[in-house]
Structure 1
Amino acid sequence: MKAVLLKQAGGPENLYIDNIDKPTIKDNEVLVATKAISLNPADVKPKYVDDMLNMLYGKERPIILGWDIAGTVTEVGAAVINFKEGDKVFGMVNFPGVGNAYAEFVAAPAAHLAKMPNNVSFEEAAATTLAALTALQILKGNINKGDKVLIQAGSGGVGHFAIQIAKNYGAYVITTASAKNKDFVLSIGADEAIDYHTQNFEDILTEIDFVLDTQGGNVLLNSVKVVKENGHVFTTTGTDFPEEAKEIAKANKVNLSGMLVKSDSNDMNILKDMLESGAIKPNIYKTFAFEAMADAHIEVEKGRTVGKVIVTI
């Protein structure tokens, strides 16, 4: 089968296509013929640094990047009961861990997948994986109907799903976005959009119940300042919080947490239901052919995507 490989740390020019053996599956896995792959900053950024690659993938080279796939089941492990050959499936494979997603075939634990709803394409399904799971796992059980929720960077991969999911849960949704993306974020459910180029959200907002932060740094610090007592700030940037942020959170009795998304078929099935009902809809910013994976990486690295970048096979 064809796979996109990375032999050593470096830029997109280090990605190359080669023929390798098709993976064999374990009893709890299915073999998926990949039709679409979703790219994330988590795919793109670590490839530059050996230590990051070693942490995520181990020291063996070459490696296959990626976690987000949609495709068709071609083989089913002996212990798998919820999928059969021919099923269309989607999911985030083995995160955190090695997903080997940039390939024509992927061995995926059945516990990481869901069946695709009939009303979405492979591209849309692949898009609704890591970013959507991150938003869901942060928001689910943590916000209530009527809460004032601030979503940072609402036009991004995580952000545009978070707006829709928070709105589906009945929240009043405020987001930060550039002026050119204001209409987009309002169209997917945001009640207010703050232009981060010309406005400081910390000068405008108070008494926020919940913040979902994807930026870290000063954005995280200022997010803590606008949350009311016993409110919550959740960030996707880890748990190494700035000391000032921790001090303000403690003084203002604000909960400050970090979260790393995890593969989970139960949550994938929640996303499936949301896709099926129309509660969420991924925005596909650009689509690239498998042979143009390097170009897809370059696009993600620009940091200006509205929604998701997809690669098709």
Structure 2
Amino acid sequence: MKAIQIHQFMVLPSSLQDDGKVDALLSFNNDVPKPTFLKQNQMLVRVLACSLSPGDVLGAQGNMIFMHQPFPFIPGMDICGEIVDSNSSSNFKNNDVVVASNGLHPIGGMAEFMVIDEGEAVILPQGVSKEQGAASSSAVTAHNAVMDYVKEGDRVLILGGSGGVGSAAIQIAKTHAKASFVVATSTQIDMCEELGADQVINYNDVDWWMVEKYQQKKFDVIIDTVGGGNYYGRAEKVLKTGQQGGTFVAVAGDDPQPDCRTVWKVMKFFSNMLVNVIYTKVNTRTLPNYVPLWPYNLAKGRKTVLGWMGEGSLTINLDSDPLPFTVAGIREAFIKVSSHHAHGKVVVKVAE
């Protein structure tokens, strides 16, 4: 089968003009063995579209030791595909078009065929494109961030409103969580307003934590999809304390490009987050609650999100037209995601 393969961990450049190193580490192979062995509750799908997320970038860079794969490996976790072998499933049949994820194993989607777990698959609703289905993974993250922490009537600030998670979070907070007031930070003012943001802060012009009216009337929830920048340390200026119900949801974490290449670094990374959680719980009178968003219940969230997409109450913003299934297309996809300047989800069209 045809597949994109990564031959060693990449140091991704910040722009498409500096792409030579990426090309040297990626290859398009026409003769990769097609998966043939299926375990119980696994299915084989023909991949139609694959979206890239920050998790794919971390896997390609080798930043997470628990995501390491033998070289060469096929990148891509989130896909939409057509089942070609349902493996005697009682829930799916051959030719069903499904949306699925490969979890924290960054392997498989940038190929003609991919093995998926039955429990990760959800039927693509009528009226939703294959590319939109493949791009729905960030909306699942947004679903967990919003629906678990935003209550009806809350005032919400979303950091990074034009990204994959942020653009979905704006819509979910406004339409499904019934937030009374939603503010987003982004340079894409019109886009965020069209998605439902009541106000948009251009972070190139204004520091959101210095806006006087927000200091006077604080937010109930801040959802950080950007990471870095000591945003939690600045949030208390415009976010209620934990005792008042204020919650800072860290989707991206304090470091959007964490180095967890050793067991020690993994332990240090997670212990730092745990310290933040405990410290803010002890100091709820003066500090907002700090909540790291752990990945969980992804299949249930995927089903809910795709249902909203099918009924038209959630739209997935794509950064551009789907990119081609070529080395150049995959290179552009990785660089766009790693640069943190994608305005929506980055999707590769693998097949018709």
Could you tell me which residue of structure 1 aligns to residue 332 of structure 2? Answer: 295
1:237 aligns with 2:249: no
Structure 1 CA distance for aligned equivalents of residues 333 and 106 of structure 2: 20
Structure 2 CA distance for aligned equivalents of residues 111 and 227 of structure 1: 38
Structure 2 CA distance for aligned equivalents of residues 252 and 16 of structure 1: 53
Q: Structure 2 unaligned runs (5+)? A: 12-21, 254-269
1:57 aligns with 2:68: yes
2:314 corresponds, among 262, 274, 280, to 280
Give the letter aligned to residue 166 of structure 1.
Answer: A
Structure 2 CA distance for aligned equivalents of residues 284 and 151 of structure 1: 18
Q: Shift of the alpha carbon at 1:198?
A: 1.1
Give the letter aligned to residue 68 of structure 2.
Answer: Y
1:186 corresponds, among 190, 193, 216, to 193
Structure 1 CA distance for aligned equivalents of residues 66 and 135 of structure 2: 25
Answer yes or no: is the 8 Å Cα contact 2:183–2:197 preserved in 1.
Answer: yes
Could you tell me which residue of structure 1 aligns to residue 113 of structure 2? Answer: 105
Answer yes or no: is the 8 Å Cα contact 2:58–2:64 preserved in 1.
Answer: no
Q: Shift of the alpha carbon at 1:288?
A: 1.0
2:174 corresponds, among 161, 167, 179, to 167
Could you tell me which residue of structure 1 aligns to residue 265 of structure 2? Answer: none
SS in 2 for 1:197: coil
Answer yes or no: is the 8 Å Cα contact 1:92–1:263 preserved in 2.
Answer: no
Give the letter aligned to residue 272 of structure 1.
Answer: L
Give the letter aligned to residue 41 of structure 1.
Answer: P
2:98 corresponds, among 85, 89, 92, to 89
Structure 2 CA distance for aligned equivalents of residues 302 and 216 of structure 1: 13
CA distance 1:89–1:154, shift in 2 (3 Å): same
Answer yes or no: is the 8 Å Cα contact 2:73–2:107 preserved in 1.
Answer: no
Stretch of structure 1 that moved more, 12-21 or 68-77: 12-21
Could you tell me which residue of structure 1 aligns to residue 84 of structure 2? Answer: 74
Q: Shift of the alpha carbon at 1:55?
A: 2.5
Could you tell me which residue of structure 2 aligns to residue 225 of structure 1? Answer: 237
2:60 corresponds, among 47, 50, 74, to 47
TM-score by length of 2: 0.80
Percent identical pairs in the alignment equals 29
Answer yes or no: is the 8 Å Cα contact 1:176–1:195 preserved in 2.
Answer: yes
Q: Shift of the alpha carbon at 1:245?
A: 9.7
CA distance 1:263–1:85, shift in 2 (3 Å): farther
1:153 aligns with 2:190: no
Q: Shift of the alpha carbon at 1:267?
A: 1.3
1:208 aligns with 2:247: no
Give the letter aligned to residue 112 of structure 1.
Answer: E
SS in 2 for 1:252: coil
Q: Shift of the alpha carbon at 1:139?
A: 1.6
Stretch of structure 1 that moved more, 7-16 or 69-78: 7-16
1:176 corresponds, among 178, 185, 188, to 185
CA distance 1:154–1:246, shift in 2 (3 Å): farther
Could you tell me which residue of structure 2 aligns to residue 30 of structure 1? Answer: 43
Q: Shift of the alpha carbon at 1:20?
A: 1.6
Structure 2 CA distance for aligned equivalents of residues 273 and 67 of structure 1: 21
Answer yes or no: is the 8 Å Cα contact 2:82–2:97 preserved in 1.
Answer: yes
Q: Shift of the alpha carbon at 1:246?
A: 7.8
TM-score by length of 1: 0.90
Q: Structure 1 unaligned runs (5+)? A: none
Q: Shift of the alpha carbon at 1:263?
A: 6.2
CA distance 1:34–1:262, shift in 2 (3 Å): farther
SS in 1 for 2:109: coil
